[in-house]
């Protein structure tokens, strides 16, 4: 009988499962807090009287901060441990979500979104590093895929909460207030989640050698650093450019370049996009990476995403948009399961968290222009036309994957 993901993952120890749950919850709640903005962006535009480009700048500001946060928390995680850094990142973005709801001006909102971005960037590489160092080689791809797939649940939860709260109160601030709840998860992490054995064993060496971040640009690592960075940059530009604007794209009137769906129709489409598209996409990449290798899986998923985006943008009916949206989400987000996986296998323990922070969140810093760029382009024509630039970015990410080595089966030192 062919093995499936869940029975295989069930072979992990109790400690390994707790690290998997902690990293997954952290990433899901990260998605929950971050994507709340996209879901209320139309209301924020009305409340503060800003254009699509202006609203896009706020999203850009958060992503820019996430790159700084990824590198910052990479240093923190390599110094004080993975679990403590994970807790700190969750507290950061939770508190700042509450602050976003209290903002009375664009500068204040921008400040809270910036600090929230720091925590958002820090959660990804600390959680991915913790799982990569805790799970054995033959289960690593599936474990990291499960962590990455939790983003879909967080996004879907955000869509449901935003839809319910907006429908009940018509107040976008209450949506952000809900974002403080993830802070409670840190209490369980502190009590139940063990530190990475690899980090504990290498802690003395890390303190003695104090490996600089510049080591990832040494002759042995430079090529991998550059091409993984570029893959993440183009992939993140495509993703944030597309998925930041999909909620308003679905809900805006046709006259303003949207599809004119009601609040509940938009909520249904977004939940379907996440749970039928993103979630299985993330999980399937872990299986594909073990079956076909990391490199081939990247190429397959990114090529399919590039082809599907223009077709999705041209769709008109609700059912067509639902089906194509799920397919775009499947391939266009599923490939992210490979970033933390291959990044963990390309870099040594002493710089692993910082390397992941730079290649993923550093790339996210550059890709932070995506929400503004797509919003600006949409003002010239419409969002459907602007989405074609996301398709080109997916295609560029695919080309970058071709230059990475295959790391399937590699043991972490």
List the chain domain ranges.
14-401
Residue 232: other Cβ atoms inside 10 A: 25
By the 10 Å C-beta count (0-12 exposed, 13-18 middle, 19+ buried), 181 is classed as: middle
For residue 30, pLDDT over 70 is answered with yes
CB 33, CB 182: distance < 8 Å: yes
Q: Which two tokens stand for residue 225?
A: 């650093």
What is the structure's pLDDT at 389?
A: 93
CATH node for 14-401: 1.20.1250.20
pLDDT > 70 in the chain, percent: 92
For residue 196, pLDDT over 80 is answered with no
CB 272, CB 325: distance < 8 Å: yes
Least confident window among 4-8, 17-21, 354-358? 4-8
For residue 4, pLDDT over 50 is answered with no
CA triple 391-396-398, angle to 5 deg: 100
Confidence of residue 251 (pLDDT cuts 50, 70, 90): confident
Report the alpha-carbon distance of residue 38 to residue 403 in Å, rounded: 33
Confidence of residue 206 (pLDDT cuts 50, 70, 90): low
């Amino acid at each position: 009988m062919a093995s499936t993901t869940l029975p295989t993952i069930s072979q992990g120890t109790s400690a390994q499962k707790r690290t998997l749950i902690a990293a997954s919850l952290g990433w899901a709640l990260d998605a929950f807090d971050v994507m709340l903005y996209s879901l209320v962006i139309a209301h924020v535009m009305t409340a503060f009287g800003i254009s699509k480009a202006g609203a896009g700048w706020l999203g850009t500001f958060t992503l820019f901060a996430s790159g700084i946060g990824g590198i910052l928390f990479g240093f923190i995680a390599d110094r004080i441990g993975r679990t403590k850094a994970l807790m700190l990142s969750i507290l950061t973005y939770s508190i700042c979500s509450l602050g976003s709801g209290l903002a009375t001006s664009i500068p204040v909102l921008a400040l809270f979104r910036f600090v929230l971005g720091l925590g958002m960037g820090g959660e990804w590489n600390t959680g991915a590093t913790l799982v990569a160092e805790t799970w054995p080689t033959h289960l690593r791809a599936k474990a990291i895929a499960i962590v990455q797939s939790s983003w879909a649940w967080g996004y879907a939860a955000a869509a449901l909460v935003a839809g319910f709260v907006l429908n009940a109160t018509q107040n976008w601030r209450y949506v952000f207030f809900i974002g403080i709840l993830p802070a409670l998860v840190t209490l369980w992490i502190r009590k139940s989640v063990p530190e990475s054995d690899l980090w504990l064993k290498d802690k003395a060496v890390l303190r003695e050698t104090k490996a600089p971040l510049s080591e990832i640009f040494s002759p042995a690592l430079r090529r991998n650093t550059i091409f993984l960075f570029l893959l993440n940059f183009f992939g993140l530009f495509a993703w944030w450019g597309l998925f930041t604007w999909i909620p308003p794209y679905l809900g805006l009137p046709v006259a303003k370049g949207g599809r004119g769906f009601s609040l509940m129709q938009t909520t249904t489409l977004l939940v379907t996009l996440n749970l039928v598209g993103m979630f299985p996409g993330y999980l399937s990449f872990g299986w594909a990476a073990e079956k076909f290798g990391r490199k081939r899986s990247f190429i397959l998923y990114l090529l399919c995403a590039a082809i599907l985006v223009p077709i999705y943008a041209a769709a008109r009916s609700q059912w067509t948009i639902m089906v194509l949206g799920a397919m775009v989400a499947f391939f266009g987000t599923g490939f992210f399961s490979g970033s933390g996986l291959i990044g963990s296998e390309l870099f040594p323990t002493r710089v692993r968290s910082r390397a992941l922070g730079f290649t993923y969140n550093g790339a996210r810093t550059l890709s932070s222009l995506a929400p503004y760029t797509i919003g600006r382009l949409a003002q010239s024509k419409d969002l459907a036309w602007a989405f074609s630039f996301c398709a080109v970015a997916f295609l560029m990410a695919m080309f970058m994957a071709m230059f990475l080595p295959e790391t399937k089966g590699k043991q972490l030192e």
